[in-house]
Structure 1
Amino acid sequence: MTISDQTLIARVQANGDQHAFSQLVRKHQSQVRSWARRLCNGDEHLADDLAQEAFIKAYMALAAFRGDAKFSVWLYRIVFNVAASKWRKKKLDWCNIDEQPDIAAEACELHQFAASEDITRAMQVLTEPQRIAVQLCFEEGFSHDEAAQVMGVPLGTLKTHVNRAKAKLKVSLASWEQG
């Protein structure tokens, strides 16, 4: 039986239950590490450091967690803030959020490879906030409201980033509609 995040959080908040927090970490560590890798250009060691620092900060701040947002949204925001803080201190080259591991041509069909290359090029025309908004909404599956919380921007700003990104991508990928 899987224990809900809310139950685990309540146990941590009530009596500092470290076992409950370790269960939260196990439930979310894969997604957090993946998000951290995207924020630091795929550097796995740095991503692990970011994730670890984020989980420590989350543990320290969990008493103040009110549950206004999903725990995962709150946690992603902490990871984002840790990465942004390191970036501001120039300890981290800021991400190119759309980069994916190289695709081996022999491991996929030519059409998929061409599509991936076109999408990568199209994503490069987006601003950093637009790329992050697209990543959160379309790859990570967050709602607009949740993505706005992660990015620390008003909902209207997030929607503007997404809409502008979609418009730019539509122009950049127009040749695929005709093909």
Structure 2
Amino acid sequence: MMAPDEELVALVVATKNPAAFGELVRRHQGLVRAMLQRMCRNHALADDLAQDAFIRAYEKIGSFKGTGTFKSWLCSIAYTEFLKSARKRKSTERAMEKLQSGIEDTEAPRDMGNVVDLDRALATLKEEERTLVVMCYSCGLSHSEAAEATGMPLGTVKSHVNRGRAKLQAYFHESEVMAS
């Protein structure tokens, strides 16, 4: 199907056409999975969250009004799924810490050498910076689309993206210097 996203959405809303929704999934699943993988740094969790995001999108497709792009609307749903998952993980981690208090981790950290990759660099960013850098650079969303997807003001999005980009540049510059 070569129809624009908006036509496919209208078809799904009007007829619950599974082929039309399947085409939307096919078009956007790589973007959604890549965005979530960068955000949560766990491929299996990202795949689960992407699946949840597409289920939620199917359930809520009637709420897509076409004021923004379908891609940004879908990224907004994926971002919400990420946030819900992060809250659950933090709650679980706090519970596990209480259970394991007093137990020391005896495994020594692994020496990773001078290997530099984007995922490690992204891990150095604050969650908001990482999320917005991924949305804007990896997923190709504009700052306005990222603001729409996250519900953050446009100026805040721009600030987080600029700070994140500057931190990434410093990280890679420092890694280059250390490797020399």
Structure 1 residues without counterparts, runs of 5 or longer: 94-113
Q: How does 1:3-152 map to 2 (within 5 A)?
A: 3-44=3-44, 46-90=45-89, 117=116, 123-152=122-151
Please report how far the alpha carbon of residue 5 of structure 1 lies from its aligned counterpart in structure 2 after TM superposition.
0.7
Give the AA of the match of 2:43: D
- Residue identity (%): 42
Bigger CA radius of gyration: 2
Please report how far the alpha carbon of residue 129 of structure 1 lies from its aligned counterpart in structure 2 after TM superposition.
1.1
TM-score by length of 2: 0.73
Tell which deviates more after alignment, 14-23 or 151-160. Answer: 14-23
- Tell whether the 8 Å contact from 2:38 to 2:134 is kept in structure 1 after alignment: no
Structure with larger RCO (C-alpha < 8 A, sep 6+): 2
CA separation of 1:19 and 1:174: change in aligned 2, threshold 3 A: closer
Total equivalences in the alignment: 158
Please report how far the alpha carbon of residue 134 of structure 1 lies from its aligned counterpart in structure 2 after TM superposition.
1.6
TM-score by length of 1: 0.73
CA separation of 1:90 and 1:167: change in aligned 2, threshold 3 A: closer
Please report how far the alpha carbon of residue 38 of structure 1 lies from its aligned counterpart in structure 2 after TM superposition.
2.4
- Tell whether the 8 Å contact from 1:51 to 1:79 is kept in structure 2 after alignment: yes
- Tell whether the 8 Å contact from 2:5 to 2:24 is kept in structure 1 after alignment: yes
Structure 2 residues without counterparts, runs of 5 or longer: 93-113
- Tell whether the 8 Å contact from 2:38 to 2:119 is kept in structure 1 after alignment: no
* Counterpart-to-counterpart distance in 2, 1:34 and 1:126: 17
User: How well do the aligned residues superpose, as a CA RMSD in angstroms?
Assistant: 2.9
CA separation of 1:173 and 1:29: change in aligned 2, threshold 3 A: closer
* Counterpart-to-counterpart distance in 1, 2:30 and 2:117: 28
- Tell whether the 8 Å contact from 1:86 to 1:92 is kept in structure 2 after alignment: no
- Tell whether the 8 Å contact from 2:39 to 2:130 is kept in structure 1 after alignment: no
